[in-house]
Chain A
Amino acid sequence: MNALSASLLGATLGFASIVSAQPRFGIGPAPVGGPWTAAELKGRAATTALEEARASFEFLNRYASQLLAWRLDRAYRDNFNVRDSEIARHALWGPWTRLRRDLERRPSKLVFGSERREPGSFQIDGQVRVAKTGSQAGSPIHVNEDLIVREGPDGQPEPIGWLEIAAILVHEHGHHLEAYGLKPTHAELDAHGAEVRNFLEGGTRVYEYGALPPEPDLPRAQRPTVIVTGHRLMAPARFCDTRLLFVRDAEFLYDLSKLVDTPSNCREDGGFDPFAPRHFAGFLTTLKGFVAAGAGLKAEINGMHSYSPYSRLGLNFAPRAGGGFLLKDVQ
């Protein structure tokens, strides 16, 4: 048994279940990051599309600094022409980095509102916007609930995609650059958001149980879903690999990113340190798919990084009374 799973399992045994309705997690002296409080890993309600959309916003907002860093990813820069590299280099040392550093200390607060309930509250230049914010780092970001849920192909409401949410957050945080002397236009920020979205999509795997035969044809809201973003690439300003792990069951959305985070050799202030040791391999996250485990399901995420040759994270799902599955424990 490898170090990661051993310590997570040990911690699971030594830690009482968090909340009865919540799954058990291996929380404790894990070799990676941590320790984390139960509240940090607790799921957010996601029974309705609006709840899921809100939870997705809250989770992704935790990583706003990294979202902005991905905009400047090394591989991304390498793939672009000299002019873009110059822009990236400038941004790396300039306002973007300072904004990221401030965001790590003080994340922006999200405030959910509704244009329908309060007409005019999200209108800018005569157009209804999905979000708005001020011009200081840490200014609250107001999100228009009317536009974060849409009608899905089955006629049921569904949240907008989490990559779209990432693009919106990048756009809104871009407005905070005004405090550092930059004033990007809406169009420029839309472009930044689209780049981050593309970049995220490139490193992301989404596994839904129930989307393809022979799995049962579950409604979207009931499909257990594992979203893994794993980059072997380096986020330049942190200079280490970053990854996210979100899990959705029939009732909750979980942010388990901390369980797959590697020890940070990066400067905690997010600064660029060319002499810091690099993670070469990173945590290459993969998921072969879901397998039946008794009446429930098991999803296994495999990965490796520079310290241990192989790590494994098992997600166990148990059947839910009203249909679908609930995350039971993490090993």
Chain B
Amino acid sequence: MRKGAVLAAAVLFLTVALVGRAVGQPKTIRALPPPNVSGARFSPQQVAAGRYLVILGDCMPCHTVTGGAAFAGGRPIPTPFGPLVSANITPDRETGLGGWSSDDFYRALHEGKSRKVGNLYPAFPYIHYTKVSRADVDAIYAYLQTIPAVTSDPKRDQLPFPYRIRQLMAVWNWLFFEPGAYDPDPNRSAEWNRGAYLVQGLGHCGDCHTPRNVLGGAERRKRFRGGAFPGWFAPDLTDNRSVGLGSWSDAELLEFFRTGRNVRTAATGEMGEVVAYSTSQMTDGDLRAIITYLRSLPASPEATVSLPGREAMAAGEAIYRDQCSACHRMDGSGVRRLFPPLAGNANLQQANPRTVARLVLVGAQTMPTDPRPTAFTMPAYAWKLSDRQIADVLTYARNSWGNRAAAVSAEDVAKLRRQLKPRAAIAPVPRGSMLHPAPGTLAKPGTDSRDNGTAHAGRAAAPEADRNPRNTTGPPGNMDLPKHKPHRHEAQGPG
């Protein structure tokens, strides 16, 4: 079985390519570029359908850099072994998809094979896009062929040896990739099948929300039970009432998909992008289909959790009261649609506390959407709380107000801190920079500083006695004021 071990080792190396996720969310949402359908190559209906499918697939965020041309690629997707850089998918002939046929494009989505570079890395979610129908892929192709062509050739292969050898992905594909379009379940409703098609295909939800094995392959039996990737943990989507969506109503789910916010949570980071660029722009029919499908996911098993230590709870409570309660309230109830409640919060109680530890370490900003245009920010605490203190306050919040989850260890927080490298980005004022005035505005020597050129220039302060309220003859109401002590010298300090 030595051959198998070698194979496993080789594949282990390759898992790098899987775990990458786009980081550095865009600050505001930009509309998709308008297609030019004047040529007779595609029908306007097909192009319009393709535009909506691009929204369903959430293609824009990964294939666009901040401030850059839409779909021109170049966004680095960091992995522990080097950055993977997204491709230019505008119809530019040299650097984009201009020379691609619809068959080439289908092969990329369906088989993970690029006409240009050969095997794609699964950071491009072809393991999900393979389920998309040929008609839908052709429509996406039609839209992408009619948007403005942009010449942009981002340096994509920045992985070090041996990960840059794309041929090795053939091994991974053989182990973990099942090509094949979505096969409808005749025993389910049309709405359920539509939801399954969207969630498993273009939506590629399982890319984050399904756990992966050590080789980076999806654990099919634990589908949608929450997945870890660098810096985040995507929560459980099953019917579990504490960590999944079991206690959410359909209306709450719908509000979250439409606006990024509801009475339970607010979308930030990766999910913020998904809401902003994808779910908030979907039709209600598709959102309801997705909800119908998610509702059918059987609840993940309840975790057995031992009680947290009393010391951790005491320290955590002290920190929570002093630092967290202003927004999340003493009783963890939060403020409706602004500051998420922590009581009953599913994200907080995930088996893997990575996301909540991240939120405390480096903070987060909610993603603005049209219905909820104002972003809210959770401040960073990395600068003032130690790893132990962050672990304790999380342990407290995960085990208060009816919550129940495993204690968080200081080691886990330390590991995440090393990975995120939080730093104070606001530089201190350099010494001397506040000196006034600029040399050119200096007054002439001998000028009286009270000669300031206004009507009040040089007026002396009123004598002390005139300003003492006891000597004034103001309205009688003034006499009711408590006696004040105007002289700082009288305030000799307490005791």
Q: Do A and B come from one complex?
A: no
